[in-house]
Amino acid sequence: MAVTHVNEDEKALIEAIRELAQERVAPRAAEIDHTAQFPWDIKELLAQQDILAMPFPTEYGGVGASELAIVMAIEELARCCATTSLILAAQQLGALPIMLAGTDEQKRTYFPRLASGEWLAAFGLTESGSGSDAAAMKTRAVRQGDKYILNGSKRFITNGGLAHVNSIFALTDPNAGTRGISAFIVEDDFPGFAVGRVEDKMGIKGSQTAELIFTDCEVPAENLLGREGDGFKIAMMTLDRTRPGIGAQALGIAQGALDLAVSYSKQRVQFNRPIAENQGIQFMLADMATKVEAARLLVYNAAEMIDRGDVSFGKYSAMAKMFASDAAMSVTGDAIQVLGGYGYMKEYPAERMMRDAKITQIYEGTNQIQRLVIARALLSEAL
């Protein structure tokens, strides 16, 4: 697919990321999955190449990349290793509340070290009893003088326990529903901050997912993002903007699975000919490729809408995430089928791709929630 609206510098960066992913990331992917250890060497590699700086403005030490360039970068990394792509996606997710609602002083405090990769970021919205229903959160924040005191916990947090900068959402007015939720920047060395259980996951095993616990956690009042009660709005604005990144992750996984299936089908000989010559295999590959390309168009379109400031992008962001993640599950499943028994074995990456793809249907809003977002947008539009 031709993309003409990324500038020449961004085109060069994406090409460099593609080569880097193939040469440096792909050889590590199976080991990262097997050991289930966060790949600090890969994180440093992304930092050294200014890939982690892409989401941050140049005035704070970032690259100032377009959203389209960011999703293309995530796609290229996910094509080789979903865990690696999540390092970039999570850095943007954790920092975006500060981008949207932070003061200049807050941005100057945190963005340079996030852009350099010295610090990692995390986004803390989900709780054990509060997933899709964010308004059901129980974490409380009470103002005491020049501090807020946080009590509660967050669950399933990407980069949990690794991130120094955590965008945390808590109730400041438990009687106000979603209007009682506020957002805070919580550093991992604040008194009362602790890491609970680290999850053992089905996929994206090299990405650490953990519980965050706040026990009389002291947060300076100046670390409030926006005003009290702005938290839910900040969270939803963040997720609307980062869902194309999850779509891009799913897209990259699907593209990698398609590449593998096409290559294998040309090499695997049965009944004295490559299986690629069988119409049944050809039809599977055609359907897989069509789903991948349709997902790419949706993801790139949503990113472009964000870049040009189109206020209606939320519906298309949800479409991109929903369709691309559903496509990734379908395509990775078909890739395993094309590979047959070998696809079921860890000798080939197809089974890892399928395990990695599943989470894209769940996090940053399940696909059932995406369908609700899309339907509500449709029904609210003037006829």
Q: Examine the domain organization and report whether 131 and 190 are in the same domain.
A: yes
Question: Domain range spanning residue 136?
Answer: 121-228
Same domain, 190 and 254: no
Q: Which CATH number is 83's domain given?
A: 1.10.540.10
Residues 237 and 224 placed together within one structural domain of the fold: no
What value does the mean pLDDT of the chain take? 96
Residues 320 and 355 in one domain: yes
Residue 21 to residues 246, 247, 272, 317, 326, Cα–Cα distance (Å): 18, 18, 35, 26, 24
Q: Mention every residue, 6+ apart, whose C-beta is less than 8 A from residue 383.
A: none
Q: What size, in residues, is the chain? A: 383
pLDDT at 7: 87
The CA-to-CA distance between both ends of the chain, in Å, stands at 33
Per the listing, tokens 């509340």 go with: 97
Residues 79 and 127 in one domain: no
As annotated, the active-site residues are 364
- Does residue 2 lie in a domain region? no
Looking at residue 5, what is its pLDDT?
A: 77
Does some domain include residue 193? yes
Is residue 107, in this structure, part of any structural domain at all? yes
Q: What is the pLDDT of residue 345?
A: 97
Task: Return the SS3 of 117.
Answer: coil
* Furthest-apart CA atoms within the chain: distance in Å: 79
Residue 292 belongs to a domain: yes
How many CA atoms, within 13 angstroms, populate the side-chain half-sphere of residue 158?
25
Domain boundary among 95, 115, 135: 115
**Number of compact structural domains in the chain:** 3
The answer to whether residue 311 sits within a structural domain is: yes
Task: Find where tokens 């299986």 sit.
Answer: 275
Rounded CA-CA distance 272/278 in Å is 11
Beta bridge partners of 127: 130
- Residue 251 falls inside a structural domain: yes
The 10 Å CB-count burial string (b at 16+, else e) for 6-20 is beeebeebbeebbeb
Give the residue among 251, 253, 208 at the shortest CA–CA distance from 355: 253
339 and 263 share one domain: yes
- Identify whether residues 271 and 287 lie together within a single domain: yes
pLDDT at 4: 58
The percentage of the chain sitting over the pLDDT mark of 90, rounded to a whole number, equals 96
CA atoms lying within 13 Å on the CB side of residue 282:
5
The percent of residues above 70 in pLDDT, for the chain, comes to: 98
pLDDT of 3 above 90: no
Q: How confident is the model at residue 130 (pLDDT cuts 50, 70, 90)?
A: very high
Around Cβ 233, how many Cβ atoms within 10 Å?
16
Residue 3 lies in a domain: no
Q: Is 65 exposed, middle or buried (0-12, 13-18, 19+ CB in 10 A)?
A: buried
Q: How many helices (H) and strands (E) does the chain have?
A: 11, 10
Question: pLDDT digit string (tens) for 166-200?
Answer: 999 999 999 999 999 999 999 999 999 999 999 99
Q: What is the mean pLDDT of residues 130-150?
A: 95
DSSP 37-78: ---HHHHHHHHHTTSTTTTS-GGGTS----HHHHHHHHHHHH
Residue 249: pLDDT above 90?
A: yes
Q: Quick check: 1 pLDDT over 80?
A: no
Does residue 146 share a domain with residue 186?
A: yes
pLDDT of residue 382: 67
Q: Tell me the mean pLDDT in the region 144-167.
A: 98
pLDDT above 80: residue 2? no
What are the pLDDT digits (tens) for 51-101? 999 999 999 999 999 999 999 999 999 999 999 999 999 999 999 999 999
Average pLDDT of the segment spanning 241-258: 98
333/240 same-domain check: yes
Shared domain check, 161 and 52: no
Q: Is residue 80 part of a domain?
A: yes
